[in-house]
Amino acid sequence: MTARALRGRTGSAAIWVLRRSWLFVLFLVAWEINFRLRESIFVPPMTEIVGGMLSKWFSANPLTLFTSEFFREHAVVSLVRLAWGWGIAIVAGVGAGLLLGSFRSLEALSRWVLRFGLSTPSTVLLPLALVLFGITNPMYVFLVAVGTVWPILLNTMDGVRGIDAETKMAARSLRLGGWRLFRRVTLPAASPQIFAGLRVSMGIALILVVVSEIFVGTRGIGFDIILSQRTFRFDEMWSSVALIAVIALVLNGLFHRVEARVLHWHQSHREAET
């Protein structure tokens, strides 16, 4: 590749990034200017928030993956709780959704349960989780799993029920049944809807972990937020909030890459239709 072509590709990449992030950059600049001029003790400028986040949660040591001891003590705990709860919700939600979507009689019997679960705010289950498990890691896992299973289940069920009749007729003509029908037709056809439910539930899982740690936590990012607020260390509180935003962006980026890799055929099909 010539130097001119390399400069062209670099310039195109920079333009692509600018188009997608200009509003976010404008928001950060406005925040910095506003609170730099106001000098509020409650809300520091963005440069101080970012600097505090880097010094508190990260380090220059590659052996610890550039994370600080404080990160490993609190952030890792929150991420493990999120992973366990969300993982259980994925297994339960996808499994139940495939079952209910395949058998309409079961869906009719469980319709009111599904509506009740979807309409109930997940945070109200916190007292129940405390009674059942106490302030332990299973309590956080239970809350995340119960709070995130519903969008996964319903999207999976809708994906199975939305398989068009032509696809089903083609599968019957090829004499596909049982496991082969599930693996080659049902699961691929429902996968876009399943991933839509997973994307929504991932954000809910992060919210539930942080909220539960704020109210009853003894470790974790949420616990550090409320502790910093109660001890009037507002700069550290905002650094923890910024860390949550970074974690959300990283998780969303990783999920997008996995989704693009698994559903590459779906994206190609949509581009061909347009």
Residues 10-52 have pLDDT tens digits of 556 667 667 777 888 899 999 999 999 988 889 999 999 999 9
User: Could you tell me if residue 67 is inside a domain?
Assistant: yes
Write down the pLDDT at residue 107.
76
User: Could you tell me if residue 245 is inside a domain?
Assistant: yes
pLDDT in tens, 124-161: 889 889 999 998 999 999 999 999 999 999 999 998 88
Mean pLDDT, rounded, for 91-119: 85
Q: For residue 120, what is the DSSP state?
A: S
Q: What is the CB neighbour count within 10 angstroms for residue 212?
A: 29
Residue 198 has pLDDT above 60, yes or no: yes
**What pTM was estimated for this model as a whole?**
0.86
Residue tagged 């505090």 (tokens): 52
Mean pLDDT, rounded, for 51-55: 94
User: Could you tell me if residue 104 is inside a domain?
Assistant: yes
Residue 251 has pLDDT above 70, yes or no: yes
Pure H helices in 39-186: 46-57, 69-70, 76-102, 104-109, 111-119, 126-133, 137-161, 165-173, 178-181
Tell which phi-psi region holds residue 2, choosing left (phi > 0), alpha (psi between -120 and 50) or beta. Answer: beta
User: Could you tell me if residue 203 is inside a domain?
Assistant: yes
Tally the domains of the chain: 1
Mean pLDDT, rounded, for 222-233: 95
Query: Is residue 206 very low, low, confident or very high in pLDDT (cuts 50, 70, 90)?
Result: very high
User: Could you tell me if residue 36 is inside a domain?
Assistant: no
Write down the pLDDT at residue 269.
54
User: Could you tell me if residue 24 is inside a domain?
Assistant: no
Domain that holds residue 208: 62-273
Q: Cα–Cα distance between 209 and 215 in angstroms, integer? A: 10
Q: Cα–Cα distance between 150 and 223 in angstroms, integer? A: 26
Write down the pLDDT at residue 185.
77
User: Could you tell me if residue 30 is inside a domain?
Assistant: no
Q: What percent of the chain has pLDDT over 70?
A: 87
User: Could you tell me if residue 55 is inside a domain?
Assistant: no
Query: CA nearest 215: which of 138, 125, 149, 121?
Result: 125
CATH of the domain at 227: 1.10.3720.10
pLDDT in tens, 67-99: 999 999 999 999 999 999 999 999 999 999 988
